[in-house]
Structure 1
Amino acid sequence: MRLGMLLAAGACLLLAAHARAAEERGTTMLKPEEFAILPWGTTPGDREQLEQIKACGFNLAGFVRPDDLDLVAQVGLQCLVIDGSTHVGDAEAALEDAEVTRRVEALVKRVGNHPAVYGYYLRDEPSAHAYEGLGRWAAAFAKAAPKALPYINLFPNYASPAQMAVPTYDQYLEDFVQKVKPRFISYDHYALMDDGTLRHGYFQNLEAVRKAALRHNLPFWNIVLANAHFHYAEPSDGGLRFQAYTTLAYGARGISYFTYFAPHVGNYRLAPIDQFGNKTVTWEMLRNVNLQIQKLGPTYIQLKSVNVFHHPNVPEGCVGLDTSRFLAEVTGGDLLVGEFEGPEGRPYVMVVNKDLHRSTPFGVRFKEAGPIMMVSAYTGQAQGWGGEQSWLAPGQGMLLFLGRQQ
């Protein structure tokens, strides 16, 4: 009886702490430096579209031209500045230092003090041949605008050695960090296929980037699908949840969606905004997922990723339940579990249903005793876990933590 009362008291204290954090946060969005949510692509200077981007749960407006920065600031967002003078193709990567400095300083002088500027777009999917030059561009921006983020996005692990210009993906990542000295790692991986399957290598890519990020103490961002094209699947609630929650389980500090605006090309379709500038069904689905990230964010950003495992089906290159730091048992469907240390070393786990099509009940047993709590993705507050809360929709994740005995 005494132990039960102490456990209950401890749980109440945890609930109160989470409730205070949620109340203090209110409806304030996560800051990009806490967790970036980016609509990948160039955003037009249209206030209504920018307001819709914010309403969809984004805290960055995408890639924005210098002349449109005032509109971004007016709706309360920041962005990555895109300008032809600092787009670093292979030719620009080979420019002399003096020319790189001249271009960077000219752009920073023009927009560097603008409140909408979060960073500067440099390059998408470079080969390793461009790393030395990109490193010089990144260094020039670091000197001219030390608070702004130079943005470079890397290939996925299904790029060929010829595309990467190195034999392996691990070397591609390591050379990037060593030569460019980035402040974060961003990569893309499009894995949801139109036959209902998951592209082989999705989890291996998360594994590789997470390991590189931890090794160098860098945050990482994942770019995932928000439209259909080629043989990729049309967006669904389950697919969007799956991409977001698997990214969170691996400890990312940013997610980007390719693309927010549908390109006027080929079979591209069902982006959140279509080719005529109108919302699609994807917009509402994506808003729901982004708002879940926003609600979980105040807790999530306090956590340190310490392990990730799969159970019972372990993909090649990943690990299973036997590596778990905190859990003695996991039951249910095909699950992914990200493990985190919270404040004062408190155990947290993000449990994700990897099935894209079917819901599943699940159960966990921590190695330590204590009440199992959850952080609601709809309120951001902590509450007891159990009963109907032990179900996961397709692709859904749930953040649980262990209340300590008093």
Structure 2
Amino acid sequence: MKTPHQSLNQAASAPASAAGTAGQAGAAPGDSGRPSRRSLLVGAGATALTGATALSAATAASAGATSAVSAAPADVVVPSPDQLPLTGGPEFPVGLFWPPHPYASTKERFAEIKGAGFDFVISGNYAGDGNIFKYQLGLARDTGLQLLISDDIQIRNMSRWFSISDTPTDFLSITPAEARALYTRARNAYGPYSSLAGFNLYDEPGAGWFTTLAKALAISRELAPQLLPYVNLLPSDDPAYYRNFVDTVKPSLISFDRYPLLSAGREDANYFHNWAIVRDAALRGDVPAWVFIQTLAYNNHREPTAAELRWQINVSLAYGAKGIQYFTYWTPEPARGEGFGPALITVEGRRTSRYYAAQQINNGWLHPVGRELKPLVSESVVHANETPLPNGAVGFTPTDLVPGISGSPVVVGTFRSRDAASGDRWLLVANRSHSAPAKAVVAVDQQKVGSVGVFQAGRQKYLPQRVGPVRVSLAPGAATLIKLGVK
């Protein structure tokens, strides 16, 4: 959707050398009602003018330390996702966008976020000042949360508002040395806080910006390899957009947003297609895939039910998601002009029914099952008993371990261990419907499968079952996890 803010951002989003390509790779066809995440970020304090002032200050501050701000080396080591905040460790990351605004940033509000089962917060909602970031980092630390900072004064100047170029005469560019000086200032300002997970370098870049992002990530990894360099991508039906991101930028994860719940009960016809493309790109780069889920109504999109929240999460898990993010947590104010309805928390700060639904889903299902799925590798994802298949979906075909799946339409993600010696498989069986219950039967080859376990989220363990057909009964939007022990 073209809002005045978005048009400004698109004009500033492409380096002069890529004016014809940036911003064109990703807009989903027919999704003109998609909310402008860019407009939210611009409204949170992102301006190139204030950034230019900070750039001059950063350059002046580094004038006496030329050797400390030389160009980033080309051989910077790319840390494994296992070594970084949120992507590493056993816990499945659950995050949110558009947190409480500065006036509502209190210990009680951050405890409310933690109580709903969230692990990290992406800054925004008019938090753009360094003092506010430090205050929120302190709140996050005290409540057990982590923060990804969208810093428009240092970080965005090196990754979004200006391209990074070795040619000082390039229009709207900074040198690698200046970029390193900017990153150093942000790292030194916020790095002492244990709650700092990393920096939000760019939200929804066009493909023309990938070269600069590659340089920005290299600088981030050289100067603070312990921090997560975060980029969220556009929705797109073009596989090249995500493949080029993986090959050029060498990211630590792939995050994207696509909101499938349209008005009048419709679904985005290309939602599964986009997920299949992102899954392939994540496997190509051997990095986690994260996604945003829709929590609110806005132009041409409906308000989700609790079952529709579950459905988005479980379909994403079946497609291999290793991180779930909510768009939005706090409700954007009506003056933004995009028809935003209430999210988890209203504009006035009241909890909605979706807050309690998210709290139950996150704590009672997503975190327990996420711990099981996070270390596994997505092997396949298929739609069983669904005719016709959605665009981009693959129909079920018999396998050595699962010769058949009958009954209601379900989405089945199959996962394997990273240990090549293990033949065990995990099946995440998700209800294809967010409005009707499902019953399915998963057939098991008894000659090859030695044990069957059905995951019990409340007990964090697998309940053994007789080796044979597994009968699955799912509420709307729900899922179950089955482990097959191979003989």
Q: TM over 0.5, yes or no?
A: yes
Q: Deviation per CA, 1:114-166, whole angstroms, max 9, x where unpaired?
A: 200111011111111111112221111111110111111100026xxxxxxxx
1:225-244 deviation line (CA, Å, top 9, x unaligned): 01111121212121111111
Instruction: Say which of 366, 377, 389 aligns to 1:293.
Output: 366
The answer to whether the 8 Å contact 1:307/1:324 transfers is no
Q: What is the aligned partner in structure 2 of residue 9 from structure 1? A: none
Q: Residue 348 of structure 2: which of 265, 276, 279 is its match?
A: 276
Report the CA distance between 1:208 and its aligned residue: 0.4
Question: Which structure has the greater CA radius of gyration?
Answer: 2
Q: Deviations over 1:22-77 (max 9, x none)?
A: xxxxxxxx955342211123444321111111111111123272332111100011
Q: Any conservation in 2 of the 1:325–1:339 contact (CA below 8 Å)?
A: no
2:438 equivalent to 1:360: yes
Equivalent of residue 384 in structure 2, options 303, 311, 314: 311
Tell me the alpha carbon deviations over residues 84-120 of structure 1, each in whole angstroms, 9 at most, x when there is no partner.
2212575323322122111100010111232001110
Gaps of 5+ in 1: 1-29, 159-168
In structure 2, relative to structure 1, the CA distance for the partners of 1:95 and 1:324 (3 Å cut) is farther
Quick one: distance in 1 between partners of 2:236 and 2:457?
31
Higher RCO (CA 8 Å, separation ≥ 6 residues): 1
Asked if 1:36 corresponds to 2:105, the answer is no
Q: How far apart, CA to CA, are the structure 1 residues paired with 2:135 and 2:482?
A: 45
Q: Give matches, 1:7-406, under 5 Å.
A: 33-34=88-89, 35-44=92-101, 45-63=105-123, 65-85=133-153, 86-88=155-157, 90-93=160-163, 94-157=173-236, 169-265=238-334, 266=337, 267-291=339-363, 292-313=365-386, 314-322=389-397, 324=399, 326-342=401-417, 344-367=422-445, 368-384=448-464, 390-404=472-486
Identical residues among aligned pairs (%): 29
Letter in 2 for 1:92: F
Any gaps of 5 or more consecutive residues in structure 2?
Answer: 1-84, 125-132, 164-172
In 1, the alpha carbon distance for the partners of 2:357 and 2:280 equals: 31
Q: Please, which moves more after superposition, 334-343 or 141-150?
A: 334-343
1:385 to partner: Cα distance: 5.3
Check whether the contact 1:43–1:63 (CA below 8 A) recurs between aligned residues.
no
Residues 336-362 of structure 1: CA deviation (Å, up to 9, x unaligned)? 000011463311100011112100111
1:99 aligns to what SS in structure 2?
helix
CA contact (8 A) 2:322 2:373 kept: no
Deviations 1:350-402 (A, max 9, x none): 00111121001111012334443211233322114599973101111110112
Measure, in 2, the Cα distance between the counterparts of 1:43 and 1:270.
14
Checking the alignment, whether the CA contact within 8 Å between 2:443 and 2:470 is kept in structure 1 is: no
Q: What amino acid sits opposite 2:326 in the alignment?
A: Y
Preserved contact between residue 32 and residue 60 of structure 1 (Cα < 8 Å) = no
Cα distance change on mapping 1:227 and 1:372 into 2, 3 Å: same
- When normalised by structure 1's length, the TM-score is 0.85
Does 119-128 or 169-178 show the bigger shift? 169-178
Number of aligned residue pairs? 366
Q: Which digits, 9 at most, give the CA deviation of each residue in 1:189-240, with x for residues without a partner?
A: 1001121121011111111011111111111101110111112121212111
Matched-pair contact (CA < 8 Å) for 1:191–1:199: yes
Query: Distance in 2 between the 1:390 and 1:42 partners?
Result: 37
Match of 1:5 in 2: none
TM-score by length of 2: 0.71
Which deviates more, 132-141 or 40-49? 40-49
SS in structure 2 at match of 1:176: helix
Farther off after superposition, 211-220 or 55-64: 55-64
Tell me: CA distance 1:75–1:395, structure 2 relative to 1, closer, same or farther (3 Å).
Answer: same
Once residues 286 and 73 of structure 1 are traced to their aligned partners in structure 2, the CA distance between those partners, rounded to angstroms, is 22
Give the 3-state SS of the residue equivalent to 1:366 in structure 2.
coil
Instruction: Compute the displacement of 1:324 (Å).
Output: 4.1
